[in-house]
Structure 1
Amino acid sequence: MPFDFIFNFLTNHSLSFSNPSTHLSYFGSRIICYHLPHNSHRNLSYRSILFLLTIDTLICQNCLLNQQLYASALLHSKSMILLFSLPIIVLAYVLCRNIKLYYDLHRRGLNPQFDIFGIKGLMWLDSSAAHENFTRMCSVIGDKTFSVLRGATPVVVTNDVDLIHAISTEHFDCFHSRIPEVLSDDPITSENIHMFSAKGERWKRLRTLTSYGLSTVKLKLLFPTIETCVSEFLDHVNSLSNGHSVVINHSHSLFQNHTSYVLARCAYGHKEKNHRVNNFLGVFSNAFGAFSDFQKSTAEKITYFFPEMRLIFKNSFVGHFLQSANQQKFLDYLLHLISRFRSRTINENNNKPSEKEPDNYSLLEFFFDHHNEKKLVEKAEGQIDMKKVKVEKSISYQEITAQCKFLSVAGFDTTANTLTLLFNFLAHNPKIQDRIFNEEIKSHSDKIDFETVCSLPLLQNCIFETLRLFPHASPLQTRICTEPLQIGKYEFSENIQVVINPWGPHHDRDIWGDDVDCFRPSRFEKLTEQQRKAFMPFGVGPRQCVGMRFALLELKTTAFRMLQKYVVKTTLPVNDSHGKMVNMTVRDTGTIWPTDKLGIILTKRNT
């Protein structure tokens, strides 16, 4: 192209210039001007000049190409250097940060366990055997309190009964908040927050309101509904029998069916009566119950190691994407139940303006009676004297939805787990079972009342011993320190996380004796002060489980009616210390489930 252009130009315009030097001046050739002697260009032919100009053009193009290649190579080498340097920079940052965190934990007397990258701590805390890991670690290090790094987050783990009570009761004003899920909604600004995740004065308001909804007066209103549910459950069990007995190969599934049914009736005013097709159980089982063995999303794992990324991953779109489809279906189902309840209530109020029947009471009805969208200014950070907080009994629609979701998770699997383990122990201890029947059940007719169920000490001791051996809600007992505080030899900094492990005190031989692994309900007939403090299946202090009395009422009513009608036997050889043979794992609900099927045989009593 350059040669053709120059040749045609010179050929067409050769007569218009006085001499060849004009051509050189016109084209401005660097080669000719630099390398030809003065006036030597007069002896050159046009074609020679054209050749030189072409060479000049090609050299210029080649130089430009070389410059581009050099710039590209330089950019590539810089990118490669940056690519190889970035991991080293990140590694150096993590090492320096974590070493500083370890030094700080050591300086505060919190006994840090060395794990420079925080991987082991993260796996311990999110393991399906976390409760056993903590207890075992205390035995290895010889201390009941230690600390680990959960990625980049310092976490204190304690089995110390006195320290647990100090944190949960004496210094509750500085430990009023729980550890939130890493990508959960902001407990301060978000409207969609339930009582378990709430902080400060907001927690106090939701807790006070829910406590009133589950007070003794309200439980008496719920008792007829619980009785009806138990009666229908026994009808369902009877339908599975061959006439005289029924073999339940997977008792946990059976009791999950029952507790979900009770929850749907008592919490949502659910009217459907069908244990064979339990929609509530189906939706819940699909959404929850996965093993907890580090089953975190990639975003959650990254956030544990780099907390700075939390704001990115907490984006509403990302959060919605991370939520499983089954959990979204569960939430949609709850919203459907709430919407249907409101529609039914409005119709009933329009048709029957008189007072509602006592046995129609439900928690959802109670919440809507206190529904108020008024915006409240509530303190959530720092030290808060909860005794001086003035509570306004109101709850927003989004808080009602969140409360229902929390109560569904909390009230479903915990009670089912306890019933499963209780009947497993009773099946392995027929003498204890006979004593309960003869002393507390046999004398009662089919009709029992609220007061009777509340006064069954032998049965209650069996439930307590089950919960001592398997405090299945122990992974949920966590706290965050909101103000720097010194407790004994331990110094807690602001925002440090604390995991309370009841599994340790519940299995401490120094507290319970050498038969700590045996099912012996009689130990609860006379507890020592240390044993009383060490028993904490429902938590300790103001954040103790709000549904404890409701759970005990449901447990005792169900057990009373089942033992009244059936003798419970095991499908396995009888073993009075069977507790240590039951395998338990932490699930995504934050509670510990039995992994064994724990089969039982229900044989009808001779009446």
Structure 2
Amino acid sequence: MLDYVKLQSEEIFKIYEIAPCYALVLNSRTIIYLGVITVEIAFIYLLIVIVSMKTYLILKKNQGSFTEKTFQVHKQLLVALWLQCLVPFVLMFIPLICCIGFVVLNIPGVKADVRQYEYPISHVLRDWTKQYGPVYGIMEGWKKTWVISDPKTAHEMLVKKFEYFHGRKPDPLMGNVDKAERMNLFSSRGARWKRLRTISSSSFNINNLKKIYPTVDDSCLKLMDFVDKAYEEGKPFNIHPYFHELTMDVIMRVAMGQRDSKLFDNPYVGLMNEFSFRVETSLLKKFALIIPPLGWFFRLLYLLYLSMTNNYMKSLLTELTIAVRERKKLKASGELQSNSERVDFIDLFIDAEDPTVKDGEFEKTGIRVLKKMTEAEIVGNCFIFLIAGFDTTANTLGVTCHFLAKHPEVQERVFEEIQDVVMDEKITFEKVSELKYMDVVMKEVLRMFPIAAFAASRECMYTTTLGDCKIEAGENVNVDVLTLHYNKEIWGENADEFVPERFFDFTAEQQMIYYPFGGGPRTCIGMRLAYLEEKLALYYILKKYRIVRTPESEKAPKMVGRNIESPESIIVKLEKR
């Protein structure tokens, strides 16, 4: 049985008794942080010891002034003080020594921080898979994480054994996802996930997508006013930010209660860019990974930091809470129904509100699901819809424009399909569904550039096996999506090439390893809305313009990001048809 991977030096492994791994997710900066904090604690501890010893000497000198019992009590208090101060020092000092030991002794497997902005984690895992094979292990702090790229094993985890892997890979600063007051569909698990999923699913059914279609269409039409201005300037430009404006406009209008379009005048775009592009893996999160028993403490520090500072997370949650409560007031007064025929996601969630809802044990089938949620869960779901709806769709549109410019023959075929299907009529919801070639173009883009590959990660809830490997409860499993999406045994020898037509013959084996929206029962719930936005945006742009390459255009998209991947820029030029 393959139990993680074998170290190059079994002797070193035996000495340190560390689970066999090739990668320790700690970088030199984290070691420096640990060192500084350890030195600070050691200095404070030393001062306390000095003061305590001086106090003890004074007590001993004046022992005649105290009864023996009083003197012993003072002595015990001083010893207790030393021990209490020693605990945090030891907790910080031991991991520091281990980390430094890994580096100094050059133990195989010490790597850089995998969450580098300039080189996303999906690319790191693909590189390691080439070196270490289809199943291997890494250590995230002291947490075991398996990395798999075997098609059958990945399918087994995401689909066949879903009841063992129904929880996503947890964030140590999120706390207990089963009990936390403000939880969302993405991070929840078990019975709570099933309840939130059941409620949210109705938001994305065909009937509701038809209701919000006019809003999406209107935002795409208004985007064209800005695209026209870019064309009139006659210069190459970065088209990617235009799609960020579009996706934010759509999600704010269909999910957050925004009444009118605010393209290029929406403060949330700046906040979300900060969230997506500039936020590093927090120091507190690294400490929580390194010292799991103190995870609760670092979470408290994190919440304290959020409450005392002006930051994007606090601003977003505050705005969403206000929007939800204002919406509840409008619905309660009847004012909303008289002023609007449109129903958005907030309305659907508010209709299901129940502050007393509780969850039972999770079962794969047969569980009775209450279609209720608390106000905190409403805010949490709106928050995750905002994040998911903003970046992933915009990034996919940006990369699609790159490939259309690079492959003009594909672009012309998409345009011909638009002419054949829509002709001179107004595009409708039904007509969008008939754009089949546009469908396969977007699917091929997502095969080559899965924007949210991190979503195919899970936590093992109960000890089980995947293939020949025993996975213990509490261990994480990452699917190496990039390796699967470029597997030449399944996709053919042209797997490295952009060939949309391959999806006209989408085999069962290919479907089993295609994870641009995650996989199994936890496949992204907003997939239909994403496709709708993308197809409408491309329809309006390609109907009027050709997207062409320029000398400034990228040879290939430079992808960056720590979780969701984004192209740094997509430089193109527009030519009128």
TM-score, normalized by the shorter chain, greater than 0.5 = yes
> Match of 1:601, SS?
strand
Question: Match for 1:374: what amino acid?
Answer: T
Which deviates the most, 295-304 or 498-507? 295-304
Distance 1:412 1:529, change over 3 A: same
Matches of residues 25-424 of structure 1 in structure 2 within 5 Å?
91=94, 120=111, 123-124=113-114, 128-141=119-132, 143-242=133-232, 246-247=234-235, 249-290=237-278, 295-315=280-300, 317-318=303-304, 320=306, 325-346=311-332, 349-350=334-335, 357=341, 360-379=342-361, 384-424=362-402
Contact 2:170/2:459, CA 8 A, preserved across alignment: no
| Residues in 2 aligned to 1:482 and 1:276: alpha-carbon distance in whole angstroms | 44
| Residues in 1 aligned to 2:163 and 2:309: alpha-carbon distance in whole angstroms | 33
Question: Match for 1:362: what amino acid?
Answer: D
> Match of 1:464, SS?
helix
Note the alpha carbon deviations across 1:486-520, whole angstroms, 9 max, x for none.
23211111111111221111122232233322211
Question: Match for 2:380: what amino acid?
Answer: A
- Which residue number corresponds to residue 604 of structure 1? 576
Note the alpha carbon deviations across 1:298-352, whole angstroms, 9 max, x for none.
32222211101112122275363597622212222222333443344455x2485
- Which residue number corresponds to residue 558 of structure 2? 583
- Which residue number corresponds to residue 487 of structure 2? 508
| Residues in 1 aligned to 2:373 and 2:258: alpha-carbon distance in whole angstroms | 21
| Residues in 1 aligned to 2:262 and 2:377: alpha-carbon distance in whole angstroms | 29
Aligned counterpart in structure 1 of residue 424 of structure 2, from 442, 445, 452: 445
Note the alpha carbon deviations across 1:428-470, whole angstroms, 9 max, x for none.
1111111111133355224111111112111011100110110
> Match of 1:320, SS?
helix
| Residues in 2 aligned to 1:174 and 1:228: alpha-carbon distance in whole angstroms | 43
Note the alpha carbon deviations across 1:6-54, whole angstroms, 9 max, x for none.
xxxxxxxxxxxxxxxxxxxxxxxxxxxxxxxxxxxxxxxxxxxxxxxxx
- Which residue number corresponds to residue 565 of structure 2? 592
Distance 1:161 1:352, change over 3 A: closer
Which deviates the most, 408-417 or 554-563? 554-563
| Residues in 1 aligned to 2:408 and 2:160: alpha-carbon distance in whole angstroms | 42
Contact 1:115/1:149, CA 8 A, preserved across alignment: no
| Residues in 2 aligned to 1:409 and 1:312: alpha-carbon distance in whole angstroms | 27
| Residues in 1 aligned to 2:219 and 2:95: alpha-carbon distance in whole angstroms | 60
Which deviates the most, 429-438 or 412-421? 429-438
| Residues in 1 aligned to 2:410 and 2:489: alpha-carbon distance in whole angstroms | 25
Distance 1:241 1:345, change over 3 A: farther
CA drift of 1:88 comes to 11
| Residues in 2 aligned to 1:352 and 1:401: alpha-carbon distance in whole angstroms | 22
CA drift of 1:158 comes to 1.1
- Which residue number corresponds to residue 462 of structure 1? 441
| Residues in 2 aligned to 1:88 and 1:404: alpha-carbon distance in whole angstroms | 38
Note the alpha carbon deviations across 1:67-108, whole angstroms, 9 max, x for none.
97xxxxxx9xxx9xx99x976995499869x99xxxxxxxxx
CA drift of 1:556 comes to 0.9
TM-score by length of 1: 0.75
Distance 1:215 1:94, change over 3 A: farther
Question: Match for 1:137: what amino acid?
Answer: W
- Which residue number corresponds to residue 553 of structure 1? 532
Distance 1:279 1:297, change over 3 A: closer
| Residues in 2 aligned to 1:259 and 1:566: alpha-carbon distance in whole angstroms | 20
CA drift of 1:269 comes to 2.9
Contact 1:183/1:313, CA 8 A, preserved across alignment: yes
CA drift of 1:603 comes to 2.3
CA drift of 1:229 comes to 1.1
CA drift of 1:154 comes to 0.5
Note the alpha carbon deviations across 1:208-236, whole angstroms, 9 max, x for none.
11111111111111111111111111123
| Residues in 2 aligned to 1:115 and 1:441: alpha-carbon distance in whole angstroms | 62
Distance 1:464 1:372, change over 3 A: same
| Residues in 2 aligned to 1:495 and 1:94: alpha-carbon distance in whole angstroms | 25
Contact 2:155/2:513, CA 8 A, preserved across alignment: no
Contact 2:456/2:515, CA 8 A, preserved across alignment: no
| Residues in 2 aligned to 1:534 and 1:277: alpha-carbon distance in whole angstroms | 40
| Residues in 2 aligned to 1:418 and 1:89: alpha-carbon distance in whole angstroms | 43
| Residues in 2 aligned to 1:407 and 1:418: alpha-carbon distance in whole angstroms | 17
> Match of 1:375, SS?
coil
Contact 1:185/1:192, CA 8 A, preserved across alignment: no
- Which residue number corresponds to residue 9 of structure 2? none
Distance 1:117 1:374, change over 3 A: farther
Contact 1:131/1:474, CA 8 A, preserved across alignment: yes
- Which residue number corresponds to residue 23 of structure 2? none
> Match of 1:156, SS?
strand
1:563 aligns to 2:573 (yes or no) = no
Gaps of 5+ in 2: 1-56, 62-77
CA drift of 1:424 comes to 1.0
TM-score by length of 2: 0.79
- Which residue number corresponds to residue 44 of structure 1? none
- Which residue number corresponds to residue 505 of structure 2? 526
Across the aligned residues of Structure 1 and Structure 2, the Cα RMSD in angstroms comes to: 3.4
- Which residue number corresponds to residue 31 of structure 1? none
- Which residue number corresponds to residue 24 of structure 2? none
Contact 2:331/2:337, CA 8 A, preserved across alignment: no
Which deviates the most, 128-137 or 204-213? 128-137
Distance 1:286 1:345, change over 3 A: farther
| Residues in 1 aligned to 2:149 and 2:492: alpha-carbon distance in whole angstroms | 17
1:480 aligns to 2:480 (yes or no) = no
| Residues in 1 aligned to 2:260 and 2:234: alpha-carbon distance in whole angstroms | 25
- Which residue number corresponds to residue 6 of structure 2? none
Question: Match for 1:392: what amino acid?
Answer: L
Contact 1:118/1:152, CA 8 A, preserved across alignment: no
Gaps of 5+ in 1: 1-63, 69-74, 100-113
Count of residue pairs brought into register by the alignment: 498
Question: Match for 1:459: what amino acid?
Answer: M
Aligned counterpart in structure 1 of residue 518 of structure 2, from 520, 536, 539: 539
> Match of 1:191, SS?
coil
| Residues in 1 aligned to 2:251 and 2:121: alpha-carbon distance in whole angstroms | 28
> Match of 2:188, SS?
coil
> Match of 2:114, SS?
helix
> Match of 1:315, SS?
helix
| Residues in 1 aligned to 2:261 and 2:552: alpha-carbon distance in whole angstroms | 36
